Amino acid sequence: MYPKTTGRPRKTEFNGVTYVRNARDYYHPLGGGQALHRTIWEAFCKCTLPADWQVHHIDGNALNNDPVNLEALPERGHAAKHHRLNWTCTHFAHRKNGAAGLAG
Instruction: Note the pTM of the prediction, 2 decimals.
Output: 0.71
Which band of pLDDT confidence, cut at 50, 70 and 90, is reported for residue 46? very high
| Residue 2 DSSP symbol | P
Q: Which SS3 state, helix, strand or coil, does residue 56 take?
A: strand
Domain boundaries, the chain: 11-96
Alpha helices in 3-96 (DSSP H): 36-45, 75-84, 90-96
What stretches of 6-104 adopt beta strand conformation (E)?
11-14, 17-21, 27-29, 53-57, 70-74
CATH of domain 11-96: 3.90.75
Please tell me whether residue 30 adopts helix, strand or coil conformation. Answer: coil
Given a cut of 60, whether residue 101 has pLDDT beyond it is: no
Find the mean pLDDT for residues 39-52. 94
